[in-house]
Amino acid sequence: MRITDIRELSVQLQGNVANALVNFSEHTISLVAVFTDAVRHGKPVIGLAFDSIGRYAQGGILRERIIPRVMAAARSDPAGLLDATGLAFDVPKLLQVMLKNEKPGGHGDRAAAIGALELAFWDINAKLADEPAWQTVARHFCTDAKTDGVHVYAAGGYYYPDDSTQRLRDEFRAYQDMGFDAFKMKIGGASLAEDMARIEAALDVAGQGRRLAVDANGRFDLKTALAYAKAMEPLDLRWYEEIGDPLDYDLNRRVVEAYSGTVATGENLFSVPDVNNLLLFGGMRPGRDVFQMDPGLSYGLIEYGRMLSLMESRGFSRTDAHPHGGHLINLHIAVGLGLGGCEAYPGVFQPFGGYPAGCAVGGGLVRPTAAPGFGLEEKPELAPFIRQLTA
């Protein structure tokens, strides 16, 4: 079995939504396809994946550095990229190949470029075994999969050009009609008074604080962060997310010390050393606070598994992990690794966000279908881009 080709397509995100810091109307995502000469059900096995939402497509890094390294290894020693059985790709080995001649540290766009390609090999391995990816993931990491599904919340509540508290209420009611019973909204894109009015409007729909999380997208300085913490504390919200700059561990610790509610962060930490620093200096509390590292942004699933092991060695549980990025890939990962849950973007970030109809949302849970791999082929919004990439 060998790799015959690797391609990347930069896909534009649809919609005109914004959080406190970023407007997504210009954002792109790398959809990656790895072609093999293996055949299942009469068709060649093609691995599909993408880097997650929020950090742009990585076609340049993939085409100039990462894909040539993997293709060179595939040409010179194809068997060397397979695991001991010879029936599946050795993903840790492939990760090493992708990282050849890369210095440590400075984990930026490179981590998302490699994340997209690394995840495509999990899709291939699952398709080779003719099973959904969560099963391949659980077997590799020896974890108890959450076969009944994982907790899910609808992430939305962005700032729109024509925003109002009524628009926010309508949006969350629509998610409720889809079967979601928990929600997340953005804060920090308006004044504290305006944001508190938005939070009250969202609580009208959510019913209780534990069903509503808020996300500042790293915008706040310490003074603002503490003012919001004080105003929101009586509401007993689900969590207060990415309060300050993702690498400002001291700010995170100071807010944690002043705020009795749950704090969540980690979606913009892309490596094990970054997570180690969060654990050492961020004040995160086992059993209380939430970790949101995202495999597609941080070198893929092998690095993510190392992050979870590190968390567990410091007294945290993998159920404290809720990966950022409400899409099919992270759903399979959350189920396979037995994580606390995952998010969904039912209304935004198409064609990548949300889940196809077969993934029943209900009772606060979402579960993958039995489609082989990550099942991206079942998502109708993605189909034209997959066709374009694999034609």
Interface residue list for Mg ion (CB under 5 A): 215, 242
Does residue 324 have an active-site annotation? yes
CB of 186 to Mg ion, least distance (A): 8
- Smallest CA-to-CA distance from 126 within 359, 379, 350, 329 is with 329
Nearer to Mg ion, 215 or 303 (CB): 215
**Under a CB-based contact definition with an 8 Å cutoff, are residues 309 and 338 in contact?**
no
- Amino acid residing at 10: S
When CB distances to Mg ion are compared, the closest residue is: 215
What is the distance between the alpha carbons of residues 9 and 128, in angstroms, rounded to a whole number? 23
Identify the active-site residue in 27, 151, 322, 324. Answer: 324
Nearer to Mg ion, 8 or 215 (CB): 215
Nearer to Mg ion, 52 or 135 (CB): 52
Q: Which two tokens stand for residue 10?
A: 């930069």
Identify the active-site residue in 107, 127, 151, 186. Answer: 186
Nearer to Mg ion, 188 or 338 (CB): 188
What is the distance between the alpha carbons of residues 220 and 230, in angstroms, rounded to a whole number? 14
Q: Tell me the pairing of strands 28-40 and 3-12.
A: antiparallel
What is the distance between the alpha carbons of residues 162 and 164, in angstroms, rounded to a whole number? 7
- As beta bridge partners, residue 263 has 240
What is the distance between the alpha carbons of residues 2 and 190, in angstroms, rounded to a whole number? 53
- What does each C-alpha distance from 119 to 115, 179, 197, 297, 319 come to in angstroms? 6, 29, 40, 10, 22
Q: How many CB atoms lie within 10 A of CB 295?
A: 28
Does residue 93 have an active-site annotation? no
What are the b/e assignments for 355-386, b being 16+ CB within 10 Å? bbeebebeebbbbbeebbbbbbbbbeebeebb
Nearer to Mg ion, 21 or 383 (CB): 21
- What does each C-alpha distance from 206 to 101, 170, 179 come to in angstroms? 49, 12, 12
CB of 294 to Mg ion, least distance (A): 10
CB of 347 to Mg ion, least distance (A): 16
Nearer to Mg ion, 242 or 248 (CB): 242
What is the distance between the alpha carbons of residues 329 and 373, in angstroms, rounded to a whole number? 9
The per-type count for the chain, helices as H runs and strands as E runs, is 13, 12
Catalytic residue list: 186, 324
